[in-house]
Amino acid sequence: MAKSYAEINAKIKKGAAVVVTAEEIIDIVEQEGTRKAAEQIDVVTTGTFGPMCSSGVLLNIGHSTPKINIHQAWLNDIPVSASLAAVDLYLGATALPEHDPLNTHYPGEFLYGGGHVIEDLVGGKDIQLKAIGYGTDCYPRKRLETWINIKDLNETTLLNPRNAYQNYNVAVNLSAKTIHTYMGVLKSNLGNAIYCSAGQLSPLFNDPFYRTIGVGSRIFLGGGVGYVCWHGTQHDPNVPRGENGVVKAGAGTLAVIGDLKQMSPEWLVGVSMLGYGASLTVGLGIPIPILNEQIVRFTAVRDEEIWAPIVDYSDAYPNNRSKILGEADYKSLRQGNITIRGEKVPTSSLSSYSKAREIAKTLKKWIKKGEFLLGAPSQLVPSVESEIRFKPLKYRPLQ
Amino acid sequence: MKVSRRIVLHFPKQLVDQPIIYALVNDYNLVFNILKASVTPGEEGLLVFELTGKKSDYEAGIDYLKSLGVKIEPLSRSVKRNDLKCTHCGVCVTVCPTGALSVDRKTMIVQFDSAKCTACELCVKACPPRAMEVHF
């Protein structure tokens, strides 16, 4: 038997939908089997909470008197992109102040960047705007310095080109000295291993072929409601997969959008990666509609069935070599140790499992209360049938 | 009455090769837990430890150390967690050398046991939301 989005939404409106988290569905499928589970359960909720560098906010600040066509602008001294219409700005999560020492005194601290401005903005703090224009007949103003606040702006739209990576590398360091990466501090000679996924709770592990996720899927984003608006940059559905369809490398990604004004600084956190840069930790959760038996089987995936590639960030990663040191399953990763080249290596996570669990539970609560309806996608995220291949740069020297 | 204090000892270099800590245990009935040590022959030594024992024994032991010329300071820097900032990712756990930071594997909540912390501060900069703070 198959269910439609309309049928599930009708149940949600009545407050009668049966909703469980991606952790809870595991035992249900084991005890009841996929057929019964697909009949009983309407929605499975997922969650993830990790640094997602391809994130940012699109702002329209409103027009000043006289008007300015902003050519360059800074928010709390962080440069923003003004390469749009007069007072439209895009603030990226990894932007850094021009006076930042960067990695001059290695490892740099990157204490305040774009992600931190986003956290302050969503938290209702006043932000300093400095802007310059070159002056035109229709936009004569050349300088603008003012405090701005999210409540006074026209649009503040969180628009993240790449979030919710389906899977991710386990980062290690084979070299003889500590290295500082976007995955965190990696100790020398396999001193630690850092992974970054909520595994069995993570959205795309629960719908590995993107049979329910696409343009218009309504999601939990930054503590509020958002939408999937496209597949993410570097989306790569055709990576090797296990028997259960689970991807064995990065694979799928999502572009997401939502109104920042209804989000919260608890779920959009500015972060500083020592020796690397600034970023934004984003809370994101997707409800998976149980349209049929196949989908419920996918949502029952468990950590021990999900494998991540182990990659050396001292050499293979920076030099773009695909060689991996092996694979690790998320059950072992989450328990704190994995074995690499016969050595026991302690693991840490960059993605918060407890917060991912909180997101899945929050989404479950919203849906059960009838406050959150599912968005039927008008176009699914491209899957294994698509021609998409993630290409390296085709380098052609200018000379 | 029992006391337990965390202190920093600076040894002049002529004392580095003497069994001072042994004397604290043997002669003064004190229990120690070394948090940090840097002792190299011919150089000034540094020892951060927690010293526990009966109040009278503790005071006598401290007097003994002072009589030898050891400089004693309370451990004044401490690392605290700002619970409002911690996102419980757990990336600090493998950076912490003493096990003061750990993950409860059931809840996946990161726990900070300040009794095990030696204020080495490695977690402070490794924490992405900078939740670990140094207090003086």
Cβ distance of B91 and A350 shorter than 8 Å: yes
pLDDT at A399: 87
Quote the pLDDT of residue A19.
Answer: 98
Work out the minimum CA distance from B129 to partner chain A, whole angstroms: 5
pLDDT category at B3 given cuts 50, 70, 90 is: confident
CB contact under 8 A, B94 and A347: yes
Per-residue confidence (pLDDT) for residue B74, from 0 to 100:
81
- The per-residue pLDDT for A9 is 98
Closest CB to B91 among A184, A191, A357:
A184
Note whether A187 contacts B94, CB cutoff 8 Å.
yes
Active-site residue identified among A53, A138, A196, A229: A138
Q: Model confidence over A277-326: pLDDT tens digits?
A: 999 999 999 999 999 999 999 999 999 999 999 999 999 999 999 899 99
**CA closest to A111 among chain B residues:** B130
DSSP classification of residue A157: E
- Closest residue by Cα to residue A61 from A16, A121, A134, A5: A121
CB-CB neighbors (< 8 A) of A172 in chain B: none
pLDDT, tens digit, 9 for 90 and up, residues A154-213:
999 999 999 999 999 999 999 999 999 999 999 999 999 999 999 999 999 999 999 999
- Residues of chain B in contact with residue A357, where contact means CB-CB under 8 angstroms, are 108
First CA to last CA distance, chain A:
63
Tell me what pLDDT residue B11 has: 85
CB within 8 Å: A281 and B109: no
**Lowest-pLDDT range, A2-11, A206-215, A331-340, B24-33?**
B24-33
Top-confidence residue, A12 or B75? A12
Interface test with A, best of B83, B85, B87 (most A CBs within 10 A): B87
Cis peptide preceding A107, ω within 30 of 0:
yes
Decide if A229 is catalytic: no
Percent of chain B residues past pLDDT 90, beyond the cut: 53
Q: Which residue of A has its CA nearest to B110?
A: A354
Question: pLDDT value at position B8?
Answer: 86
Tell me the average pLDDT across B86-91.
Answer: 98
CB contact under 8 A, B90 and A185: no
In this predicted structure, the answer to whether residue B78 has a pLDDT above a threshold of 90 is: no
CB atoms A184 and B88 under 8 Å: no
Q: Are strands A170-172 and A307-312 parallel, antiparallel or unpaired?
A: parallel
pLDDT surpasses 80 at B7: yes
Whole-number pLDDT of residue B44: 84
Chain B residues at the A interface, defined by Cβ less than 8 Å, are 87-95, 103, 105, 107-109, 125-126, 128-130
pTM for the predicted model, two decimal places = 0.89
Task: Please state, in angstroms and rounded to a whole number, the distance separating the CA atoms of residues A82 and A91.
Answer: 9
At residue A82's C-alpha, the angle toward residues A79 and A87, to 5°, is 115
Cα–Cα distance between A331 and A307 in angstroms, integer?
A: 9
* Å between A270 CA and nearest CA of chain B: 6
Question: How confident is the model at residue B118, as a pLDDT?
Answer: 84
Q: What is the pLDDT of residue A285?
A: 98
B5 Cα distance to chain centroid: 10
Residue B21 binned pLDDT confidence (cut-offs 50, 70, 90): confident
Kindly give the pairing relationship between strand A277-285 and strand A179-181: unpaired
Nearest to B128 among A273, A355, A357 (CB): A273
Whether residues A334 and B105 touch (CB distance < 8 A) is answered with: yes
So what's the pLDDT on residue A215?
A: 98
pLDDT for B42 equals: 78
Q: Which of A192, A281, A335 sits opposite B128 (nearest CB)?
A: A281
Mean pLDDT across chain B? 90
Q: Which parts of chain A fold into alpha helices (H)? A: 5-14, 24-40, 114-122, 293-299, 330-335, 353-368
ipTM score assigned to the predicted complex: 0.94
User: Is residue B77 over pLDDT 80?
Assistant: no
User: pLDDT tens digit string along A95-143?
Assistant: 999 999 999 999 999 999 999 999 999 999 999 999 999 999 999 999 9
The CA distances from residue A276 to A16, A105, A185, B131, in Å, are: 48, 12, 10, 18
A50 touches chain B (CB under 8 A): yes
Q: What is the pLDDT of residues B37-75, one digit of tens each?
A: 888 877 888 888 889 999 999 999 999 999 999 998 887
Residues of A in contact with B121 (CB under 8 A): none
Distance from CA of B44 to the nearest CA of A (A): 28
For residues B97 and B122, is the Cβ–Cβ distance under 8 A?
yes
Q: How far apart are CA A191 and CA A189, in angstroms?
A: 5
Predicted local distance difference test score (pLDDT) of residue B49: 86
For residue A58, the tally of other CB atoms under 10 A from its CB is: 17
Enumerate the residues of chain B whose CB falls inside 8 A of the CB of residue A50. Answer: 89
B15 min Cα distance to partner chain A (Å): 34
Q: Do B125 and A51 touch (CB under 8 A)?
A: no
- β-partners of residue A143 are A132
